[in-house]
Structures are given as structure tokens and as C-alpha cells.
Amino acid sequence: MKSKFLFFIVSLFFASTVIAETKLKSVFNGKDLSGWVVPKGNSEAGWYSAVDGVLKIKNGPKKKGSILWSKNKYRNFIMEFDFRFGEGTVDSGVHVRNQDQIQIGISGSLKRDMTCSPYIPGKGYPVEAKNIKKLLKLKDWNTMRIKAVGKQYSVWLKGEKVMTYKSDSAIDEGPVGIQLHGNRIMSIDYRNLKIAKLP
């Protein structure tokens, strides 16, 4: 009886995972920045550009930072994408509905890699993602999955769950944003950006 119940639970888990994955829809067409709010000055500075299916992000000579916000707003969702570090001291991340952010790269305040950890304004990094040194490949593509349900954020890196955090500052609905941190020379690539809306 126990084995049947366990089989049912496992089957239910995999079924729910498959359903979620089938709902993942591309939010970056690889050709241009359609669907995103392009920041003022991007044409001159070249912060964000689409090249051969890749969202390329880099600082200009003035080292100004910026955020590329989605035009669509999301409540509960899963976001999945690949990222690859480029030149310099990379400090990027994904904003979740508001200023709450999932870090990618070196924290400007802590001076160390905090990839997959949440940065919460006013609190800094309340928790640190696990096993990042083992999983993260600096010169290769890495796949990240972010799940935001209510106030809870969960993050996977290369299929391994590395962080869960409940944020008091989370809001019900908002866009997602791709950050380019200022005051440094850096570049980072993103591709295969997809989002699935959840109940």
C-alpha cells in the first residue's frame, strides 16, 4: 500500500513538472528587444542588444547601469534562461516583479560571487544560495530557473535547487527586469529566456 502511495506522489510530482514546462513561453525572440522596455540612451550606449539569438549586455565607456524591464507583468511564474559571464567583474541579476533581485555575479557590497542569492533592498543578502562554486561554470552557459509564488522565491542552477526565500517586500504583480550594474566594465550574455505563468 505504501509503495502505491509513494508511486502516486512521485507521478504527481513529475506530471506537475511537465505541465509547468509545457507552459514556458519565449519572452525574447533573439532578433530584437520586442516585448521589453528599452531604457533611454540604449541606442547610443549599446547596453542591451540582440545578436544571433543572444541578449548581449555590456557597459558603455561611461559605466552607467540600467535595467531592461519586460512590458508584461507577472504574478506567480517560473522564469528559465541561460547565462554566460563575459568580460570584467560581472554584476547582473533578475528583478522579480519589483526591486527584489536574484543576483548573478559578484556582489558590489560583499565583493564575492552571490549568484542565485536574493538581494533585497534594505536587507542586503538575507540568505546565500548553496553549492554555487560547484555548479557555476564561469566560461560556459549556465541554466537558471526562478520560481516566484506569492512572497516565496526559489532558484535552481543546472537543475539543482539552491535557494528558497520568503520576501516581505514581494509584491503581487510586476514585470521582470534584467540588470546591468554600473560603475564597472563588464559584459554578460543571456539566451533562451522563457516564462510560464502559474496559478
Angle at 42 between CA 41 and CA 43, to 5 degrees: 95
The percent of residues above 90 in pLDDT, for the chain, comes to 79
DSSP 125-146: -SS--SSHHHH--TTS-EEEEE
Residue with cell 527586469: 177
Q: Is 196 helix (H, G, I), strand (E, B) or coil?
A: strand
pLDDT (tens digit, 9 = 90+) per residue, 125-159?
999 999 999 999 998 999 999 999 999 999 999 99
Give the pLDDT score at 182.
87
The arithmetic mean of pLDDT across residues 42-64, rounded, is 90
Give the pLDDT score at 18.
46
Give the pLDDT score at 75.
98
In this model, does residue 2 exceed pLDDT 70?
no
DSSP 33-97: -TTEEPPTTHHHH--EEEETTEEEEE--TT---EEEEESS-BSSEEEEEEEEEEEES-EEEEEES
Which of 2.30.140.10, 2.60.120.560, 1.10.10.10, 3.40.190.10 is the CATH number of 26-197? 2.60.120.560
Q: What is the end-to-end Cα distance of the chain in Å, rounded?
A: 32
Is the pTM above the cut of 0.85?
A: yes
99's grid cell: 526591486
Give the pLDDT score at 63.
76
> Mean pLDDT for the chain?
91
In this model, does residue 15 exceed pLDDT 50?
no
**Which of 66, 64, 47, 44 lies closest to 55, judged by CA?**
47
In angstroms, the CA 154 to CA 170 distance is 13
Give the pLDDT score at 95.
98
In this model, does residue 13 exceed pLDDT 60?
no
Ramachandran class of 17: left when φ > 0, alpha when ψ lies in -120 to 50, beta otherwise:
alpha
In this model, does residue 47 exceed pLDDT 70?
yes
In this model, does residue 38 exceed pLDDT 70?
yes
- CB of 113 closer than 8 Å to CB of 132: yes
